Amino acid sequence: MSGLTRASVADILGPVDERTLADILATGANLEDLREARAIVEGRSDITGQGERAISGPLAALLVILGHRGG
């Protein structure tokens, strides 16, 4: 799994402002984390169907950021 760049964030989320980009990069998340966070925020992920696992670390941080951004 690779780290995130400005281009990879834009590919997944579309344009983001500098503050949001910096916040996302600071999480230490990878591409899969960002894809999953976007799916969860957009209601396209069945997180309870995945064994009701606890969400923590970079994924949890991304959910907070994307939740404030509105997806």
pLDDT in tens, 14-69: 999 999 999 999 999 999 999 999 998 888 876 655 556 678 899 999 999 998 87
Contact by Cβ (8 Å): 63, 56:
no
pTM of the model: 0.81
Query: What is the reported pLDDT for 43?
Result: 84
Domain range annotation of the chain: 6-69
Q: How far is CA 35 from CA 11, 24, 44, 45, in A?
A: 10, 12, 11, 10
What is the rounded end-to-end Cα distance, in angstroms, of the chain? 23
* pLDDT of amino acid 1: 47
DSSP label of 4: P
